[in-house]
Structures are given as C-alpha cells and as structure tokens.
Structure 1
Amino acid sequence: MSSADRYDRRADLAVRAADAGASVALEAFRTDLAVERKGEKTDVVTQADRNAQRAVIDAICEEFPDEPIVGEEDDERKTVPREGPAWIVDPIDGTNNYVRGIHLFGTAVAAVVDGEPVGAAIVLPALGDTYRSGPDGVFLNDAPLSVSDRTDPETCVVCPTIWWDFDHREQFAAANRAIFERFGDMRRLGCAQASLAMVAAGSLDGVVTNVEPHPWDTVAGAHMIREAGGTVTDLEGERWRHDSRGLVASNGEVHDEVLEAAREIDGNTRN
C-alpha cells in the first residue's frame, strides 16, 4: 500500500471516528447533564465527553488497535509522539457551549504521522456540519473550502480563542483591544476547533491566542487552514506545530496584522 493510500485510509477513518463521537454527544445534548469541574471554574466535563471519547477510540481501534491516542479526557496520553502514527481526539470541543445548550460544539479527530497531520475531521453535529481534510483537499459537507481573500484588515473578522482564566484575564482584555484596534469586528465562539475550521472556510479571517494550546484543541483545525491556503504560525512568525507557544492563524493576506495583534496580548510587540 502506497503512502497516499495509507493517508487516505487515515483521513477517512478520522471522519468516521469523529462522526461516532459526535453522534454520542448529540444524543445527550440538552438533556439533564451532570457537570463536573476538572480544575478552574470554567473547565468543565460531563459523562457525555467521556462517552464520546470512548466512541471515537473504539472506532480508531477497530482499524489501528496499537496506535497511540492523544485525548483530552480520562487517562489517554497528553502529548503527541515525535515519530510514527498517532491520533489526536477532542470528544466535545466547546463543552461550555454544550452544557449551556448552545449548538456550537463538536468532535475533532486528527491523524498524524511523525507529528504532522495527514487527515482530520471536525464534526459539529447540532449544526449538521462536517469539516474534513485529507489528501484530496479540505471540505465542508463535501463542498471544497478556501480561506477568504480579504486584504483590508478593516473588513476582517478575527477571533480570540483558547480561554484566558481569571488569573490572566488582563490578557483576554488585551486580545480584545488589539483586535478591535485593527480589524472590522471580532467573534468569540467558545469552540476552538470550530473557529479554526471557519478560517479554513473563509467565514473568519483570523484566530489568535498567546498561550500554548492543547493539541486536541488545535491540530485538526490548523491543518485545515493550511490545506485551504491559509497561514498558521507561532508568536515568532514561525511555522506552528502542536507544541508551539501561541497560535496565529489567518487567510495569509492579513497575517502580519493578525500576528501583531497576537503579540500585543502579552506585550510582545515586535518591530
């Protein structure tokens, strides 16, 4: 089997596994959920998260039973291996939306080889949307995607993503200010993978954070942006990886401005 065939197989499985998890999440959506805190007041989890992750893992293990899985919940490993194949899973990205009955949540699965994505899926079941990326391109519900072609920052919409907790709320304020000073408008969606997917689709023009995000919150969507013609870097302007600090994504046309906004969050504006 050629490398392309193997990557096709992994990209297809990412969609099926994400569908399996999203179906479990949707079944419990807007039911009487018991909400638990994992740490901070806004870091919540439900049994639906765990059940959805199990459904994703079961689907993966049917075809690749011995491959590492990086997952948000339970005892799955939390770091992406440097070498070989692995899977990165977020069973419900946007759990705070989910527990409030807001439709914007999803299941994200990325297949990686030597730390680099070869296929990914983000399924937003309450919206009926499936974003997927593989050797044949990046799609939303089978329609091919491309990032926006906007070049004027004052026409762009940028999203601050990944949550700043209460002890870093001044950074959240700085992110808002930096975006409002440069761009036409701002969105905060409460679902990092959906935000990234929407940059790939051209619905948003940029996404910024200065923190080191978890791979399950970012790898699938970042891969889709690149496949759709966009740019994803760290705060230094270098190519973003799953272990980078900061994530700055854009349509490429306004990346310098998006990067400046991201650097202002913690006062790291460069000339």
Structure 2
Amino acid sequence: MSRHETAYHAALEGSEVAHRLYRTELSVTTKDSAMDYVTRADTETQRRIIDRIVEDYPDATIVGEEGDELKSVPADGSAWVIDPIDGTSNFVHDIPFWATTVAAVHDGDTVGATTIMPALGNTYTAGPDRVTLNGYRMTVSEKTAVEEFKVAAILRYGPERDDVFGNLLSTLIREFGDLRRLGCAQGTLGMVASGSLDAAVSTQSNPNPWDTIAGVYLVERAGGTVTDIAGDPWTPDADGFVASNGQAHDAVIERVSDVSNRKK
C-alpha cells in the first residue's frame, strides 16, 4: 500500500476511536499549561494510528504528540506525523471542531496527508494525484480582495505569547473581511484547502510538526500558498505561518508581517 493510502487508513481508524470516546466521561489532565489538555482518547487514538501504520510499514518512524514518540521530523528517510486529536480543548468541551490527522513524510517532503473531523463528517485527504474533501476534488477559494477574506488565527501555544496573539487578532479583524478562531489548526487548514476560509495566520515560532505538516500539504495540493510570516519559504520550524488561497498572498503578508514587533 502506498504511503498516502496508509496515512488515510490510519487516520480513519484513529478517528473512529476518538469519535467513539467523544462525549463520554473521560479523565482530563493537562500538560504544559492549564489549557493544554490530554485524555485517554488522545493516547488510545494515537496507539491505534501507530498500530495501523506498522501493519504496512513495520519499521515506521513515528512523530507524535503524545508519549515518547519523536517530536521533530528527521531530515532523511521516511516518517509519519500524527496528531490523534488536534483541538483536544474543543473535544473535552463538547465542541465538534476537532480532528485526527496523519501525514507521511519522505526525506523532508510530505507525500500524503489526511485530516478527519468525524464529529462534522469531513475528511480532507491528499496524495500525489488527488486532493479531496469527502471524496470530491477540492480547491482553495478564488477570492482576490483581502478586504473580503475570511481569515483565521491559529496556533496559540501559551500565555507568554498572548500579547503578540492579541496583536494578531486585532490586525486580522481590522485588515480583512472577517475573523475566525476555531481552536484546531489542522481543521482550519483543511478549510483553507477547501475554500471555506481564505487564509490562516500564526505568529508562533517553531510550531509542532503535528499541528502544521498535514494541513500545509492539503493547502498546497489544493492550489494555495504557504510561507512563514515574512513571506519566505515555509519549513516546519518556520517563524510564523501564513496559508492562503494564493490569490493575494503578498497582500496578506504585507498586513501581518510585523505583528510580532507591534506594540499593543
């Protein structure tokens, strides 16, 4: 089975575990901050994803959010990047906007990705030949006027960056048509890829690979553009993040590039 097909099946089986545990009573703990949740659903979903991957690739290298898996993507060779539940805060607060996501990477390049939002019934998937939402070809939006853009802020990792994040929110609401803050980066990027949103922006430096890699691939395969916040080529450890439909990417960059340096 090809790597992008394995990524799809692993995400599908993992999402079924997560969905089965959604809206059940779960013990909730936190990690690095009071809002950084983890539940049994996260760990059981990740375990099922890994089990499915190693059925096809017994020597698989796993990069995953939970447990002792690698936390960065090796520069060489193949790896699988997993987020069992992106948007765990939404998950535990009964907000259906959360996702299970798996990306397949080879020598630093993504070769397949799937993001599944089972509570909403949405499956975003891409491989070398197709990029689809629920089995139908998807593309980014065709909007060109940033004043009409629906944009989303993503990747708020901790309170120490709240001033900058506040600057970002203020900028987005002033400079673009409308603002969303959805609490699940991969689901948000899926919406950019499918044209529901026109752009997504983050000021976060060195984001976690499981929060970005699958979504970046979806956006790019759907015809969009992804860079760092200065407009330079995006890498998993980039400083900031801008994903757009590509129709006015430079104009988006112009409006957000100095957010981190701006005083309140």
How does the TM-score come out when normalised to structure 1?
0.94
Q: Flag structure 2 segments of 5+ consecutive residues without an equivalent.
A: none
| 1:9 corresponds to 2:2 | yes
**1:158 aligned partner, one-letter code:** V
| 1:218 corresponds to 2:175 | no
1:146 Cα deviation (Å)? 0.7
Conserved 8 A contact 2:165-2:203: no
Give the whole-Å Cα distance in 2 for the aligned partners of 1:206 and 1:161.
10
Instruction: Provide, for residues 26-55 of structure 1, a one-character-per-residue CA deviation record: whole Å limited to 9, x for no partner.
Output: 011011111101111111100110000000
SS of equivalent residue, structure 1 residue 75: coil
Conserved 8 A contact 1:111-1:117: yes
1:229 to 218, 223, 241: 223
1:61 to 54, 58, 62: 54
Give the whole-Å Cα distance in 2 for the aligned partners of 1:27 and 1:242.
31
Single out whichever of 230-239 and 28-37 deviates more from structure 2: 230-239
| 1:250 corresponds to 2:244 | yes
Conserved 8 A contact 1:147-1:201: yes
Give the whole-Å Cα distance in 1 for the aligned partners of 2:171 and 2:111.
33
Give the whole-Å Cα distance in 1 for the aligned partners of 2:255 and 2:117.
28
Conserved 8 A contact 2:29-2:39: yes
Conserved 8 A contact 1:132-1:224: yes
1:164 Cα deviation (Å)? 4.6
| 1:110 corresponds to 2:103 | yes
Q: Are residues 74 and 139 of structure 1, via their aligned partners in 2, closer, same or farther at CA, if it must alter by over 3 Å?
A: same
Q: Aligned residue for 1:263?
A: 257
Q: Aligned residue for 2:89?
A: 96
Give the whole-Å Cα distance in 2 for the aligned partners of 1:42 and 1:164.
9
SS of equivalent residue, structure 2 residue 50: helix
Give the whole-Å Cα distance in 2 for the aligned partners of 1:236 and 1:157.
20
The count of residues paired between Structure 1 and Structure 2 equals 262
SS of equivalent residue, structure 2 residue 239: coil
Matches for 1:21-170 after TM superposition, within 5 Å = 21-170=14-163
Q: CA RMSD in A?
A: 1.4
How does the TM-score come out when normalised to structure 2?
0.96
Matches for 1:178-193 after TM superposition, within 5 Å = 178-193=171-186
Instruction: Provide, for residues 202-230 of structure 1, a one-character-per-residue CA deviation record: whole Å limited to 9, x for no partner.
Output: 00010111112111001001001110111
1:119 Cα deviation (Å)? 0.4
Identity %: 46
SS of equivalent residue, structure 1 residue 259: helix
Give the whole-Å Cα distance in 2 for the aligned partners of 1:192 and 1:200.
12
Instruction: Provide, for residues 27-85 of structure 1, a one-character-per-residue CA deviation record: whole Å limited to 9, x for no partner.
Output: 11011111101111111100110000000000000011112100000000001010111
SS of equivalent residue, structure 1 residue 246: strand
| 1:239 corresponds to 2:233 | yes
Conserved 8 A contact 1:164-1:171: no
SS of equivalent residue, structure 1 residue 96: helix
